[in-house]
Structure 1
Amino acid sequence: MKHILFFILFFAVASVSAQTEFSTKFKSIPAPKFGAKPKKMPAPDMPSLDDPAAPNGEIPSIKTPNVYDNTKLTTKSQFQVGEEKSKFSMSTEKQFANPGDRYVDKMEKDLDKALKDAGLKEGRGPLVRKDIEFGDIYTSSAYFIIKCRDAGAIDGDLIKAVFNDNVVVERMLLKSEYQSFKITFNEGFNTFSLEALNVGTLGGNTGGFEITDAEGNHVLSDYWDNLDTGFKAKFVIVKQKELLKKANK
């Protein structure tokens, strides 16, 4: 046991001695010092303020240019507000306050044409201010059935039917479907008329009619167009024993 302790103590002393010797022999090498001298810049030559030949020592002020004062940089538009537009023009086009107004007339014409083609609007041409004669009708039948309807758009056309100066129908509002009534003849000549009581909201009074006899034979069908108020579609009916025929005008 004593021998073991001796060896431990020996190695400890030897280790401490070696470290002390190594630390005394090692010396750090200091970094070299390089002295950097600042570079001297020569002072600028400043003119003397007392020298009359020297320029004025005041620094000139910088003025920002105003582009709005230079009329050469901006050009006025000939259409700007406040400038009178040239009155000379080779164009016959109307001057409109709203540029879209120039298309209104064409759009209205196109719309009117489309409505007329679809049967939704009647023409507004000159009103017919005279009676329309539909000629003489010869028949051996005892009576006629008269059917009437609006031949155009339904716009409130009204008619009155008169037979031999007697009112047969006081007031008929023309519709899209036929409305019928009967007239019975006297021997010889008979007068019959359909009178326009008004003009419709879409044009003159326009109506169509269809006439059949007591035997159901078709006699005549036609129409009146754009009649003014008070004017008539007129017929002369001649009752005789001959076969039904329509006389030449």
Structure 2
Amino acid sequence: MIRNQQNHKLQVFPNGIVFVLFLIFIGFSASSQIDNRSGSFKIPAAKDSTATPSIQPEKSTPDIEIPKSQGGLKLDASGKLVERPVLRAPESSDFYMLDREDFADSGKRYTDSMNEYQARLDRERRGNVPRENIDFGVFKGNSKQLIIKCRDFGAIDNDRVAILNNDRTVVPSIFLAGTFTQITMQLQEGFNKIAIKALNQGSLGANTAEFYIYDELGNLVYSNQWLLATGFEAQFVYVKESNN
């Protein structure tokens, strides 16, 4: 009986050891499966074959003193004047960029302008106004039109004129201002008698005007001035030649 019990114990003991080993094996397998599922793996660090460069400190250069500038004057760091400016005499030829006339006294220019204006008034008031037409001559060309520019060269005193071609009124009335008024006149083949007629005399005397005549290409044909009494004309003839 006792022997049977001992045999039974001997049989149980090895079985227990096997069972423990089995549990350890299962635990190790489970741990391996978890690591494999996570997909994690270790990569050994690559060895850096590049040699670390050696950095040499830059050589310090001495500070360069830059002169300061203030209002065209060169100053050092302490504010002392380094270089004195070169002054030119006002009478030197290269001092003035413009002609000396441009620096004339404004009062003198105003006086000269007033004197010129007064001279114009005196010319209109002085003497008898000629009561006759003025003939400026005959001109030839092949221009299809003429451009007439006219203005009052004297005092602006409401002078008015009319423009005619072959005794036909082209422009019935033009006020002669201080600036030019421009008229374009179409020409007939052959003979064109152009007349600028004084419609009145201004409040200061004769009808005074300055005029310029150009062809269709802008070439100056003729220019002049007149002093006219009311109803009289400044005339010229333009002969339009055939293009054939």
Q: Quick check: which one's helix share is greater?
A: 2
Q: Greater CA radius of gyration, 1 or 2?
A: 1
